[in-house]
Amino acid sequence: MMIKRLTNKLLMGIIIFHILALSLLPPFTFTEVKAAADSPGFIIQADWVVGKNMTPSIVFTETSGSDKTPMLRVHYEEAVIYGMKLTKQFSTPSGPVSLTLKADGPVRMSGMTVDTSSLSFKGACLRATENIPDAGLEDVTMVVHYMNAGGSNIEQLSLQTVDGNQGPAKPKKTQILVDLALLPYTQALKEVEKISSGKKPLVCDEPVADEGDVKPGEPKASIPDELSREDLVPGEEVIEDRVGKVTDPVTKVIDPATGVIEPVTGITDPITDPVKDIVKPVEKVIKPVTKPVKKVLKPVTKPVKKIVKPVTKPVKEVVKPVEEKLKPVTAPVKHALSESCKRVKDTKGKITKDLGLDLIDQALKEGKTLPELCKGDASLTRALEDFEDGLTDILGLDFIFKALGQDEEAKLKRMKETLKNQKDNFIISL
Amino acid sequence: MEEREQEVQVRSGFSKKAFWTSLASGFLLLGLLLVSFGISGVACAVPIAGVGDFYVKFDQLEGTGYTFYPKLGETSSSDSSPQGTNLIKDVTIKNLQLYKDFKVGGDTIRVLITASKPVRITGLHHDAGLIQANAKFQNLTLKENNSSNWQKQFEQTSSKITLENAKLKTHYLFQETINMAGMKLTVEKIK
């Protein structure tokens, strides 16, 4: 009996110990494991990225592990990428799988936007919202979560999916983004505003401390480290084309001259014949104009005969006064149109990108389809049906929509995402 | 007893005549089927799968409504092999060639299907392990999604795709409709 009681107590003790031990485990342990396995982001490597009008900024982007993560957004008007390689790793039930996209030829992109959480390169210093007209980055490695390009031309593309983890090690996460990720979202947004207005350096190829005197995209080699432009006295200039480092020093000494040159002995004879006058004077000059120009344009002598005749007869019939007065409105208006519906009514058959996005937002907010937004008005409902069909067709989404089935919310989100990427002057004609 | 054993061995032996007859009749039937498609011009809902990986080559492909995502699928050598799914809404392909090589004895037999005229496809579903081409995209987007399903975590979309001088190692091919005028099927021995 005693042994049974002791055994029961021992078992209870073991169970309580395990419960306590489990409760003491940090709650984020499992999340970390998941995040590590998912390995968000795809790595893009490039030997060189040369582009026009590069503008960096900070945004919040969806990743495979989070809805809103602070990212460094780099936008190029045009860019050419040399030696590009993209790698994405997946954790699948059958083990790790890697997707690699490689271009052996140059990759030409127009209107390229890249959202990155980690970035390393050589050749420039990126400051928030500051445009770099001609940017050249070398040895670029970045962890990208979103990439978009209006037009892209990839020469010698090779797209492959293989077993195992492939690709390089990810670069260290950009410090400014790590700091922002620790802040609550609203506070992070305020910080981003501050960073953007102050044009603070976001990421550089060298420590920020050396940054002060170097302008973005400017080659640093042109100014010595110990001398800045501000140190120069007025009138002084920095010599841009300086002699570089001596790479191949002269080692052999030229043989010294040993033989003495003999003195000149023969004297040159004096000049006896002076130089004769060779230049001949100009004999004939252009003769002066003596005869006046005879015929110029004839003056207008005859008056214009026919002019417009003056109005003699007064206008007989004027507009008749309105005889019948409008009847007072007795029936109340059944459906008040929303602001977006009124805007659709005013569009005259052309829906702009902004209006389209507003309509999709409203539909998402109210949990409706687009045609249901203006349900009270048959013509507007038809117009919205046409808008939905036109947009789906133009954006090439109908095939994807088939795969999404009846998930209207997912369709609207996809439609919004695709419409967002269109040009600002994008118009759907109904 | 020895005679009996010999007799049994002879009966279970490989019959070349039967093999070649059945292979030839199989290809003849397949050829007739494909030729009928070629004459009518249109075939509907055509899946080409279960023959292992095969190659698709062409001079140019122009398509609209392109989506790419990764997947694990069956191949001739594995139940679960990493692949990429390509969905294209409307496609026109110039100088299309589909081929599959079979090892028969010591020889390699290639079954080749070609189309001398542009092939028009709607609703293309194509699973490939490798794509090699010169590619052009309009409105190209590569993005991540916050999903527990690994296949939905990454996708590549484009409103228009153009591939030139392409070679694709293919595992599965499906078309809602295909118009393959000028089709030709050949079976040839290659080195």
User: Cα(first)–Cα(last) distance of chain A, in Å?
Assistant: 88
Nearest to A372 by CA among A414, A405, A417, A338: A338
Per-residue pLDDT averaged across A300-318, rounded?
55
* pLDDT of A192 higher than 70: yes
Query: Is the Cβ of B73 closer than 8 Å to some Cβ of chain A?
Result: no
How near does any CA of chain A get to the CA of B117, in Å? 25
How near does any CA of chain A get to the CA of B131, in Å? 5
Higher pLDDT, B28 or A144: A144
Residue A72 lies in a domain: yes
- Neighbouring C-beta atoms of residue B13, cutoff 10 Å: 8
Cα dihedral: B37, B40, B46, B49 (round 10): 10
Q: Taking CB atoms and an 8 Å limit, are B123 and A64 in contact across chains?
A: no
Contacts of B136 in chain A (CB under 8 A): 151-154
Residue A212 lies in a domain: no
DSSP string spanning B108-164? EEEEEEEESS-EEEEEEEEEEEEEEEEEEEEEEEEEE---SSGGGSEEEEEEEEEEE
How near does any CA of chain B get to the CA of A325, in Å? 56
DSSP string spanning A86-134? EEEEEEETTEEEEEEEEESS-EEEEEEEEEEEEEEEES-EEETT--EEE
* pLDDT of A320 higher than 50: yes
pLDDT, position A131: 81
Q: Taking CB atoms and an 8 Å limit, are B142 and A418 in contact across chains?
A: no
Of B64, B130, B137, the CB nearest to A152: B137
pLDDT in tens, B5-29: 555 555 556 677 777 787 777 777 7
Of A67, A98, A421, the CB nearest to B139: A421
Contacts of B67 in chain A (CB under 8 A): 399-400
Per-residue pLDDT averaged across A383-400, rounded?
76
pLDDT band at A362 (very low <50, low <70, confident <90, very high): confident
Separation CA B157–CA A418 (nearest Å): 9
Q: Taking CB atoms and an 8 Å limit, are B146 and A396 in contact across chains?
A: no
DSSP string spanning chain B? -HHHHHHHHHHTS--HHHHHHHHHHHHHHHHHHHHHHHHH-EEEEEEE-SS--EEEEEEEEEEEEEEEEEEEE--SS-SSEEEEEEEEEEEEEESEEEEEEEEETTEEEEEEEEESS-EEEEEEEEEEEEEEEEEEEEEEEEEE---SSGGGSEEEEEEEEEEEEEEEEEEEEEEEEEE-TTEEEEEEEE-
Residue A14 lies in a domain: no
Query: Is the Cβ of B150 closer than 8 Å to some Cβ of chain A?
Result: yes
**Domains in chain A: how many in total?**
2
pLDDT band at A17 (very low <50, low <70, confident <90, very high): low
Query: Is the Cβ of B78 closer than 8 Å to some Cβ of chain A?
Result: no
Residue A354 lies in a domain: yes
* pLDDT of A236 higher than 60: no
Q: Write down the mean pLDDT value for chain B.
A: 84
Q: How many CB pairs under 8 A join A and B?
A: 134
Q: Taking CB atoms and an 8 Å limit, are A62 and B146 in contact across chains?
A: yes
Of A64, A97, A156, the CB nearest to B134: A156
pLDDT, position A214: 39
pLDDT band at B45 (very low <50, low <70, confident <90, very high): low
Q: Taking CB atoms and an 8 Å limit, are B131 and A160 in contact across chains?
A: yes
Q: Cβ distance B75 to B54 under 8 Å?
A: no
Query: Is the Cβ of B87 closer than 8 Å to some Cβ of chain A?
Result: yes
Q: Taking CB atoms and an 8 Å limit, are A62 and B67 in contact across chains?
A: no
Please say which residue of A184, A204, A224 terminates a domain.
A204
Residue A351 lies in a domain: yes
* pLDDT of A45 higher than 90: yes
Q: Which helix (H) or strand (E) holds A72?
A: strand A69-82
Q: Cβ distance B61 to B121 under 8 Å?
A: no
Please say which residue of A204, A221, A240 terminates a domain.
A204
Residues pairing with B96 in the sheet: B115
Same domain, yes or no, for A343 and A200?
no
Looking at this protein, which amino acid is placed at residue B31? G
pLDDT, position A190: 83
Per-residue pLDDT averaged across A152-157, rounded?
94
Largest CA distance in chain A: 151
Lowest mean pLDDT across A44-53, A379-388, B41-50: B41-50
* pLDDT of A200 higher than 80: no
pLDDT, position A136: 84
Higher pLDDT, A38 or A388: A388
Test the B interface: residue of A161, A393, A409 with most B CBs within 10 Å: A161
- Taking CA atoms, B78 is separated from A137, A374, B38, B75, in Å, by 42, 53, 33, 5
Query: Is the Cβ of B41 closer than 8 Å to some Cβ of chain A?
Result: no
Phi, psi for B106 (deg, rounded to 5): -95, 0
Q: Cβ distance B98 to B54 under 8 Å?
A: yes
pLDDT band at B123 (very low <50, low <70, confident <90, very high): very high
Per-residue pLDDT averaged across A159-166, rounded?
89
Please say which residue of A159, A185, A204 terminates a domain.
A204
Test the A interface: residue of B80, B85, B121, B142 with most A CBs within 10 Å: B142
Of A90, A155, A162, the CB nearest to B150: A90
Per-residue pLDDT averaged across B93-119, rounded?
91
Test the A interface: residue of B67, B127, B144, B170 with most A CBs within 10 Å: B144
Higher pLDDT, A389 or A322: A389
pLDDT band at A18 (very low <50, low <70, confident <90, very high): low
Q: Which residue of B has its CA nearest to A105?
A: B134
Contacts of B125 in chain A (CB under 8 A): none
Report ipTM for this prediction: 0.72
Q: Taking CB atoms and an 8 Å limit, are B65 and A399 in contact across chains?
A: yes
Query: Is the Cβ of B157 closer than 8 Å to some Cβ of chain A?
Result: yes
* pLDDT of A210 higher than 50: no
pLDDT, position A10: 64
Q: Taking CB atoms and an 8 Å limit, are A159 and B146 in contact across chains?
A: no
pLDDT, position A319: 53
Q: Which domain, by its residues, includes A108?
A: 35-204
Residue A197 lies in a domain: yes
